[in-house]
Amino acid sequence: MCVSIGENCLRIHFISDSIVKGSIVILPKGGSFMNWKTFLIGAGSGLVAGVVLHGIREKKQIVSPEKALANAKSAFKKHGPIQGSWIQMERKPYKKSLLQYEVYIGGISRTSADQTEQYEFIVDAATGAILDAYLL
Host domain of residue 18 = 2-59
In this structure, are 71 and 129 located in the same domain? yes
In this structure, are 52 and 73 located in the same domain? no
Which pLDDT does position 86 carry in this prediction? 92
Instruction: Give the pLDDT confidence of 34-71 residue by residue, as tens digits.
Output: 577 777 777 778 878 777 777 776 666 788 889 989 98
As a whole-number percent, the residues of the chain with pLDDT over 70 amount to: 71
Grade residue 108 by pLDDT with cuts at 50, 70 and 90: very high
Whether 105 contacts 122, CB under 8 Å: yes
Q: What are the distances in angstroms from CA 52 to CA 40, 47, 57, 58?
A: 18, 9, 9, 10
In this structure, are 70 and 55 located in the same domain? no
Question: How many independent structural domains does the chain possess?
Answer: 2
> What are 93's strand-pairing partners?
102
In this structure, are 84 and 121 located in the same domain? yes
In this structure, are 80 and 125 located in the same domain? yes
In this structure, are 69 and 131 located in the same domain? yes
Whether 109 contacts 117, CB under 8 Å: yes
